A and B are shown apart, each in its own frame.
Chain A
Amino acid sequence: DTAVSQTPKYLVTQMGNDKSIKCEQNLGHDTMYWYKQDSKKFLKIMFSYNNKELIINETVPNRFSPKSPDKAHLNLHINSLELGDSAVYFCASSRGGGDTQYFGPGTRLTVL
């Protein structure tokens, strides 16, 4: 099944914890993204990687660190989780920076 996959689908954790979300795409794409969607459905880009290199880094707290071990994977590590980090995080990929972006199913993060 060709797709963008994310794990875990749901993540519930306490404030102050560190957590990671994994993303993998088997579409052969060069560019991958992380988006945050808040409770009002507002979708905002956080990071973009092209061939394992960071190309977009929006104003995101340092507690968020993306890591791309290879061009098929882009993981998101979050340190010292805060209540405001609760959201749905979407990974996406595209062939190039201007091509159609394919989104993963999302990871629903709840910080208590």
Chain B
Amino acid sequence: QKEVEQDPGPLSVPEGAIVSLNCTYSNSAFQYFMWYRQYSRKGPELLMYTYSSGNKEDGRFTAQVDKSSKYISLFIRDSQPSDSATYLCATQETSGSRLTFGEGTQLTVNP
């Protein structure tokens, strides 16, 4: 069983839609949670970073962590074609330990 499970998609939505991306994890020691965005043929870039349970908002993006159910989410409001990319969730036990990535969800936002 993978430590972090993520539906690879692909996910296709119309412009302006609310997008929900999700991951589940099995290791209860994970405390740090990240979302990376990866455009085609590029390296991943950090989008959101959260510690422990709770919500974090940045513009159109909201990251949610529910440690009790080991569930992490990324919501994208008013999605744009420029949001089309692969989104990878990542977890970390402690600051400084290795990142464990999900498989990535490929998102296409259609104009």
User: B-contacting residues of A (Cβ < 8 Å)?
Assistant: 4, 40-45, 48, 56, 58, 90, 92, 96-98, 100-106
Assembled-state Cα–Cα distance A70/B45 (Å): 24
**Cβ of A98 and Cβ of B46 under 8 Å apart?**
no
Q: Does B101 contact A (CB under 8 A)?
A: yes
Out of B32, B49, B92, B103, which one reaches A42, CB within 8 Å?
B103
Give the chain A neighbours of B46 by CB distance below 8 A: 100-101
Out of B45, B49, B88, B96, which one reaches A41, CB within 8 Å?
B88
**Cβ of B43 and Cβ of A48 under 8 Å apart?**
no
With contact pairs A100-B49, A101-B99, A106-B41 given, residues A41 and B106 touching in the complex (Cβ less than 8 Å) = yes
**Cβ of A106 and Cβ of B97 under 8 Å apart?**
no
Q: Does B86 contact A (CB under 8 A)?
A: yes
Q: Which residue of A lies closest to B46 (CB)?
A: A100
